Structure 1
Amino acid sequence: MNFIAWIIVVCEAAFWAVIIAGLTTRYLFKQKKLGLLLLALTPVIDLILIVITGIDLAGGATATQAHALAAVYIGVSISFGKSMIQWADERFLYHVVKQRPKPEKKYGMDYAKHYFAGWLRHVAAYLIGATVLAGLIFWIEAPSRTEALSGMLKIWSLVLGIDLLIAMSNFVWPKKARV
């Protein structure tokens, strides 16, 4: 595994560690401001990742899938970050603090609308990540060194299209509750 791949792993681990620390500080230690501060550090992790990726490429590295995944990670983290924190918050309150009922699962049209809202967040993640990928391609100005970045744009475009089909299928064939 190359350097950037390890940085992505470290950033992902740091993202969840900061969320867990923020929720623990907020609910178990009753330090709401400190907990919020810790949760607010998640975008800093994204910034660190993109800076390290840019420095590596500017230093002459040929882009790999790991470099491309750094851009995907940033887009997903920014777009889904708040909803991921909310998801973790609800489960933390239910499983650890025992102060909230079990989070409800969605079915039918509620699920379809929820999934479609997630697809819209996916579009936002795509736009952010694609902008980062295009910016890196433009900045490096060496197509032979940035093929992995442009390849990721193609793959992600396909994934986004498939995700739209899945989102639309939920309206045609709504998810049913298990009996």
Structure 2
Amino acid sequence: MLVALIIACEIGFWVLLAGGLALRYVAKMPRFGAAVLLCEPLLELALLVVTTLDLKNGGEPSWTHGLAALYIGYSVGYGHYTVQWLDRHAAHRFGGGPKPPGPTYGKARAVHEWKLWIRTLAGVAVALGLLQGAIWYVGDAADTGGLQAWQFAALRVLGIQAVIAATYTIWPRKPPAAQPQEEPAAAGRER
């Protein structure tokens, strides 16, 4: 049941996001669109409540509880960022807003990657807290090995994100070389 709820929350996230952005920029109803976008955290709250109730009612801690904790952690770390990123693109595409900045290079890219690592850290902290709370909640009455495995998985994700950020710091990405422009008069004389 939890897997179906996680899938429903993910689908609901994208439906609310698409609906909110469509209302803001296509239907020209920015306040109503913002209200729809503000409903997205309710999905994670519902998932948290259902997961807690499942454990309270004697549900055996399993990988689904761990997945729910990681999903909630990801939503805390990256949910607002994802909404803002898509909002900028929708504002440009449908609302006549400025073009979102393209890819960054050098030090700016390294700083961006470390900011993403901080978001990952926030998400992992939330997931670890939820998982540890579940472990303490069920206590010795159940096997919590699956929940502990998810804690290690969250820490691995954090480590991988740190390695990615470090590579952009050590080996900064360089902008593509500019293509030389031919002058039209010079091109005509060569024929």
**1:152 paired residue number:** 150
Give the 3-state SS of the residue equivalent to 2:140 in structure 1: coil
**1:70 paired residue number:** 68
Alignment of 1:21 with 2:53, yes or no, is no
Inter-partner Cα distance in structure 2 for 1:57 and 1:119: 31
Q: Read off the aligned partner of 1:114 and give its amino acid letter.
A: H
Mapped contact 2:92–2:99 kept (Cα < 8 A): yes
1:90-123 deviations in Å (ceiling 9; x for gaps): 2223344454325411122111100100100111
Give the 3-state SS of the residue equivalent to 2:74 in structure 1: helix
Q: Read off the aligned partner of 2:139 and give its amino acid letter.
A: E
Alignment of 1:134 with 2:114, yes or no, is no
**2:171 paired residue number:** 173
**1:49 paired residue number:** 47
**2:110 paired residue number:** 112
Inter-partner Cα distance in structure 1 for 2:127 and 2:143: 18
Q: Which has the larger radius of gyration?
A: 2
Unaligned runs of 5+ residues in structure 2 are 178-191
Mapped contact 1:22–1:34 kept (Cα < 8 A): yes
After TM superposition, the score normalised by the length of structure 2 is 0.85
Unaligned runs of 5+ residues in structure 1 are none
**1:88 paired residue number:** 86
Length, aligned pairs only = 177
Aligned sequence identity (%): 31
Mapped contact 2:127–2:154 kept (Cα < 8 A): no
Inter-partner Cα distance in structure 2 for 1:44 and 1:157: 26
Equivalent residue in structure 2 for 1:40, among 29, 34, 38:
38
Inter-partner Cα distance in structure 2 for 1:35 and 1:71: 28
Inter-partner Cα distance in structure 2 for 1:9 and 1:178: 39
Deviates more, 1:3-12 or 1:142-151: 142-151
